[in-house]
A and B are shown apart, each in its own frame.
Chain A
Amino acid sequence: RKEVEQDPGPFNVPEGATVAFNCTYSNSASQSFFWYRQDCRKEPKLLMSVYSSGNEDGRFTAQLNRASQYISLLIRDSKLSDSATYLCVVNEGDMRFGAGTRLTVKP
């Protein structure tokens, strides 16, 4: 079983839709969690850190469920510019990446 798993998608949604991604991790001792965004042919950029109480940044909400060992990312009112691959990253001493979830927002 992979250490960090994500639904690869692709998720194709219309503008304005709400979309959610989940990411599960296997190491219960994992210390911190992040969502990164990667545009085509570019390096990943930090989107949000995920705090235990959940956190929100504008249209983006991240949540952590330690009991079930998953994190989630919710995007509300999606924009065309949200089209990208979203990577889940888990810090378990080493940083472990999910394979990424591709999102395409269409007009």
Chain B
Amino acid sequence: GAVVSQHPSRVICKSGTSVKIECRSLDFQATTMFWYRQFPKQSLMLMATSNEGSKATYEQGVEKDKFLINHASLTLSTLTVTSAHPEDSSFYICSARGPRDRAAGNTIYFGEGSWLTVV
């Protein structure tokens, strides 16, 4: 099946610094990727939809200047958490819309997730 790789899996950074997380579709082209955040024991929260070659669409309440998304190629989207603060510590997961299946439509495949800890 389709594979999405996310890197790094864990990162610790100092408050005020920026962190970049990469999301790659390894064996298919993904015109659309999604970024989520998940706090402990809470559900996935969609942050933004990333479209190759255009600006990302952010969900209400998500600061686009703080969470910079770049989708420069059909296999790579990046999320940069700028001026990170401890409250940004969370599990960040990306997903990509996979090849279309005639019966099921587009399935989405998730990266392994990135644990961000801001100290």
Contact = CB atoms under 8 A, between A and B. Distances in A.
Interface of A: 31-32, 34, 38, 41-46, 49, 51, 87, 89, 91, 94-100
The 6 closest A-B CB pairs, nearest first, are A32-B105, A49-B104, A99-B43, A43-B110, A43-B113, A100-B43
Contacts of A95: 34, 46, 95, 97, 108
B112 A43 contact: yes
Most B CB atoms within 10 A — which of A38, A41, A42, A95? A95
Contact of B46 (A46, A91, A97): A97
A49 B95 CA distance: 16
Contacts of B110: 43-45
A51 B44 contact: no
B91 A41 contact: yes
Nearest to B115: A41
Contacts, number: 52
Most B CB atoms within 10 A — which of A38, A43, A87, A91? A43
Contacts of A87: 43-44
Chain A interface, >50% SS class? strand
Interface size class of B (residues with CB under 8 A): 20 to 34
Interface of B: 1, 34, 36, 43-44, 46, 49, 91, 93, 95, 97, 101, 103-113
Contacts of A45: 110
A91 B105 CA distance: 9
Contacts of B112: 42-43
Most B CB atoms within 10 A — which of A34, A41, A42, A46? A46
Nearest to B95: A95
Contacts of A41: 91
9 contacts: A34-B104, A34-B108, A49-B104, A51-B103, A51-B104, A94-B46, A95-B95, A98-B43, A100-B43
Nearest to A42: B113
Nearest to A32: B105
A95 B104 CA distance: 13
Contacts of B104: 32, 34, 49, 51
